[in-house]
Amino acid sequence: MKPHLILTGTIAALALTACETTGDPTQGGLFGWSEGKAKQRQGALNDAVSLERGRTSSARSETGGLQAESRSNAAEISRQRGQLNRMLSQLDEVDRAGGGGRTSSVRARIVETRGSSDISESEVRSLDSEVRSLRSEYGLLQQRR
């Protein structure tokens, strides 16, 4: 054999034995592929998919809980705004009964609270107590009960 062919064959043999095997079929070519590494790679990919499915499930569950909480909060705010509207109507009764000068500050606070996106239950109770007190002073509580 010619020394040139021997040298080329030796280099090719060394190159093949020196190549690292891989489990990725897109790498390594015909002689660099390893079935064992391919199974390890598939296992790692399956583990990653399982982990992401778990995260997705958790995220969906959390989203569902947050949506339910949001609906509950919206319903509560709507209920409180209804109470505040009822109080404004009751202040109209107080005005008609002669208490017109006494309702303006409470009315302003009710309107301000009603326009807020963060209505506290304690503020609604406090306002309701003030409206009841005014109604009581003008004898309007007995008529409604």
Mean pLDDT of 104-111: 95
Q: What is the pTM of this model?
A: 0.60
For the chain, the domains span 34-144
In angstroms, how far is CA 57 from the centroid of its own chain? 14
In angstroms, how far is CA 30 from the centroid of its own chain? 50
pLDDT higher than 80, residue 101: yes
The two three-digit tokens of residue 28, written as one number: 């390594």
For the stretch 38-88, pLDDT in tens is 899 899 999 999 999 999 999 999 999 999 999 999 999 999 999 999 999
Mean pLDDT of 102-111: 95
The two three-digit tokens of residue 125, written as one number: 């109770």
What band does 105 get if pLDDT is binned at 50, 70 and 90?
Answer: very high
